[in-house]
Structure 1
Amino acid sequence: MTHAGAPYAGLTWDHPRGYDALAASADGLIHWDVQPLEGFESHPIDDLCARYDLVVLDHPHLGEALGAGCLRPLDDLFTPAELARWGADSIGPTMRSYAMDGRQWALPLDAATQVAATRTDLADEAPRTWDEVRSLARRAPVALSLAGPHAFLTFASVAVALGEEPAADPDELIGDGTGLAALDLMAAVDALAPPETRALNPIGLLELMAGTDRLAHCPLVYGYVTYADRLTFTDAPTAAAGDRPGSTLGGTGIALSTRCAPSPELLDHVRWLMSPAAQREFLPRHSGQPSARAAWTDSATVAADFYRRTTATCEQAWVRPRHAGYIGFQGAASAAVRAALAGETDHREALDRMRTLYRTSRTPKERHT
């Protein structure tokens, strides 16, 4: 099927980081459409795969995609040596986040995780620990990322910083102590936040911070290298100096739908997107945020500080569950977190609600690791 004159149709997300490099390199082979960030986060993946040959997706959609049988396993299209090389070259858990049931379903095109963003002219030094974040919030505007699925993602990252990964036990979301402590910490910060920030997605928060003086710091927001000339990005906060930064992996993978009949030219194009030349040079020149570790640790671009200051967080980021019910759970759990922060429910009730939602989002056949 052709689309706007190109042999293949692709879908990515509507931001220069998601679109510019793909469009600039398509060379008549792929026509790239875009969807809003909210669609990328929540639109049913089987519907997208029914309409597109290539889909840029987030790793928590894998369970849904495998249940629908709508993705091509990439180990049928690329050699074990190629997949091993791309995995070894990719930063943190980006490559393995797209592996499931012993197969590789997407390649990490873009790497991102929640990091701290700061206007140092308004906040002086970026806080390094959560105690420092709370201290800053008492003297400058500080906000959490709470819109859409991000309330739960922030909760999960705080839990990681406190020493417990959510869903480490596939039947239990989080322990009492960690879950309640995370909600208490979030409530303390959110109580002082500018009200306008609570409805903003990560791009909206970064735009507000970059374009006005109404936000000085966001301790957990998905990093965007496109703002590195206006904001200072640093590792996510820790519970104490030297501890693991708490962060939830984001980024994007490029996948082929089952409707796609890939030509050698298309597979070579995907290979090129994962190549050192594309990852270290082409993508950064076109607003991209590459997944190759070398692009983060050896970057010579104007955004080198963005990568250098956040590499440790990306290397240690938490990978979300990927069972078929996860996307729905993530949205409902976020609503429970927001209700707790707004004082509509107490923290114990919100935590119990999230645990129940998590257990009911799973079935025995979906107990993937």
Structure 2
Amino acid sequence: MKGMTWNHARGVDPLVAASARWAELGGAPIAWEARSLQDFEHYPLEDLARSFDLIVIDHPHVGQIVGQDCLVPFPDTAQLAETAAGSVGRSYESYHFDGRQWALPIDAAAQVQAYVPDRIAAPLGNWEEILSLARDGRLACPLRPPHALMTLFTLCGQLGGSPDSTGPRLFDPEIGGEAYARLLQLSALVGEQARTQDPIAVFEAMAAPKSRVAAAPFIYGYASYARDGFRPHRIAFADLAPLGPAGVAGSALGGTGIAVSALGAHVAEARRFASWVASGAVQGGLYAAAGGQPGHDRAWRDAQVNATTHDFYAETRATLEAAWLRPRHDGYMAFQVQASALLDDAILLRAPAAATIAALNQLSNSFASAALRK
């Protein structure tokens, strides 16, 4: 069989290790390929389904999946029920659409905060501390599309008004406007390079020996960087700094799930592997040990798994449990691409808040309306 994942140790190493064990148990060998993070987020899923039996996906793709008929759903089984019961936050739910389960969570993530213990004593506690560190040139924030949009989503949630993923208006104008104003304020302080950085680029910069960057307050968590020896400087992780009435709630949910191609020649075997690798026993065992960031509660609560990552899971769990689920209708991914470009231009030009939020709402409504007409 052939599988496609994303090109980072967290995305590749645990699947390679799991596949080796699967083969030892008598399962079919699996050859994994990987794509860059940007390519992973935007490459046409139907094209991948023609070439691979197993595909690691983002949950906002599921509405498009239903429309393209390129993946097969998972049938109800005892193993599926175990995976659902052990899901961290809304990770399992995020791949459930139109009454069926299109992928199984193997990686759970949300925007949290990261800091370098060698350079700062504790995680940031409020907005003023965030700004103070940014003014001192010691703060980073990945704003490369789509990450500025993800941060806007998270800021809205923290300010008490997560975007409405089901209604005709995505952003509340008042809360969206305040969140955008804070994003503009932050972008002006972290520098122009932020618009070219994704989370991996920020982590690599933070972990470099001579870096001054001490924290990143809105960034998808990467347990790999919390391990001793992974990079010259270890990065620690914590829940979001509470900025408003919602506390740590409202982070934009991320993570990945494993899906099975409807166009491959090994559907039954691919389903068996996917169900096995998403199980609590594998997620809490060899998957975590091989550098994965599991989507199963068994791993997140495991003392040894936490010890090897300096409590990455325990320290960020509250944020992940309260994370916000992005829209998943057929058309959302196209909206995300266009909205990210719109927001990137707005940040560059320092466009006014009211006009920017109104434009994002208009764009969202057009894609959501088109999805309803299909």
| TM-score scaled by length of structure 2 | 0.90
The reply to whether residue 311 of structure 1 matches residue 304 of structure 2 is no
Change (3 A) 1:74 1:169: closer
Q: Give yes or no for contact 1:122–1:140 (8 Å, CA) kept in 2.
A: no
Report if aligned partners of 1:72, 1:256 keep a CA contact under 8 Å in 2.
yes
CA contact (8 A) 2:335 2:363 kept: yes
Aligned counterpart, 1:39? 39
- Counterparts of residues 354-369 of structure 1 (less than 5 Å): 354-363=360-369, 365-366=371-372
Does residue 251 (structure 1) correspond to residue 238 (structure 2)? The answer is: no
Check if 1:133 corresponds to 2:126. no
Is the 8 Å Cα contact of residues 232 and 306 (structure 1) preserved in structure 2?
A: yes
Output the CA distance in 2 between the equivalents of 1:63 and 1:31.
28
Q: Determine the structure 1 residue equivalent to 2:162.
A: 165
- In structure 2, the CA distance between the partners of 1:193 and 1:254, relative to structure 1 (3 Å rule), is same
Q: Which moves more between the two structures, 269-278 or 49-58?
A: 269-278
The one-letter amino acid of 1:345's match is A
Q: CA deviation at 1:221?
A: 0.8
Of the three residues 136, 140, 150, the one matched with 1:153 is: 150
Query: Which of the numbers 220, 223, 230 marks the counterpart of 2:221?
Result: 223
Partner SS, residue 72 of structure 2: coil
Q: Which runs of 5+ in 1 are unaligned?
A: 1-7
Segments of structure 2 that go 5 or more residues without pairing to the other structure are 228-233
CA offsets 1:309-365 (integer angstroms, 9 cap, x no match): 101111111111011211121122122222232234222221111111101112365
Deviations 1:189-208 (A, max 9, x none): 22111332321111000000
CA distance in 2, matches of 1:341, 1:120: 30
Structure 1 residues 122 and 343, CA gap change in structure 2 (3 angstroms): farther
Q: 1:237 corresponds to which letter in structure 2?
A: A
Q: Which residue of 1 aligns with 2:231?
A: none
C-alpha displacement of 1:263? 6.2
Aligned-partner residue type, residue 285 of structure 2: E
Counterparts of 2:311 and 2:296, CA distance in 1: 16
Report if the CA contact (8 A) 2:159-2:244 is conserved: no
**Is residue 12 of structure 1 aligned with residue 5 of structure 2?**
yes
CA root-mean-square deviation: 2.0
Distance 2:342 2:370 in 1: 25
From the superposition, tell whether residues 20 and 245 of structure 1 become closer, same or farther in structure 2 (CA, over 3 Å).
same
Q: Distance in 2 between matches of 1:367 and 1:244?
A: 36
- Aligned pairs for 1:229-240 (under 5 A) are 229=227, 230-240=234-244
* 1:323–1:367 Cα contact (<8 Å) kept: no
Question: Identity of paired residues, percent?
Answer: 38
Is the Cα contact below 8 Å between 1:128 and 1:238 reproduced in 2?
yes
TM-score, with length taken from structure 1: 0.91
**Counterpart of 2:354 in 1: which secondary structure?**
helix
Q: Which residue of 1 aligns with 2:230?
A: none
Whichever residue aligns with residue 158 of structure 1, its letter is L
Could you tell me how far 1:11 is from its partner in structure 2? 0.7
Correspondence for 1:5: none
Which one-letter code corresponds to 1:226 in the other structure?
Answer: S
**Further displaced range: 216-225 or 233-242:** 233-242
Residue 353 of structure 2 is matched in structure 1 by 347
- 1:282 to partner: Cα distance: 0.3
Q: 2-side partners of 1:198 and 1:214: how far apart?
A: 19
5 Å-filtered alignment, 1:54-203, equals 54-75=54-75, 78-79=76-77, 81-203=78-200
- Secondary structure at the counterpart of residue 256 of structure 1: strand
Residue 275 of structure 1 and its aligned partner are, at CA, apart by 2.5
Q: Matched residues in 2 for 1:176 and 1:342: separation? A: 21
Structure 1 residues 246 and 139, CA gap change in structure 2 (3 angstroms):
farther
CA–CA distance in structure 1, aligned partners of residues 269 and 102 of structure 2: 19
- Corresponding position of 2:344: 338
Corresponding residue number in structure 2 for 1:53: 53
Q: From 281, 287, 290, give the equivalent of 1:286.
A: 290
CA–CA distance in 1 between the matches of 2:70 and 2:15? 22
> In the superposition, relative to structure 1, how do residues 356 and 91 fare at CA in structure 2: closer, same or farther (>3 Å)?
same
1:54-102, Cα deviation, whole Å (9 max, x unpaired): 1100001111111111110112xx41x3322211111000000000011
Judge conservation of contact 1:49–1:71 (CA < 8 Å) in 2: yes
Secondary structure at the residue paired with 2:368?
coil
Query: Whole-Å Cα distance in 2 between the matches of residues 356 and 258 of structure 1?
Result: 35
- Asked if structure 2 preserves the Cα contact closer than 8 Å seen for 1:143 and 1:189, the reply is no
| Alignment deviations for residues 230-262 of structure 1 (CA, whole Å, 9 cap, x no partner) | 111111222248723331111110001111344
Q: Residues 242 and 121 of structure 1: is their aligned pair in 2 closer, same or farther, counting only changes over 3 Å?
A: farther
Amino acid at match of 1:11: M
Residues 343 and 241 of structure 1: CA distance in aligned 2, closer, same or farther (over 3 Å): same
The residue number in structure 1 matching 2:16 is: 23
Structure-1 separation of matches of 2:373 and 2:81: 25
Q: Describe the shift of the 1:97–1:303 C-alpha distance in structure 2 as closer, same or farther (beyond 3 A).
A: same
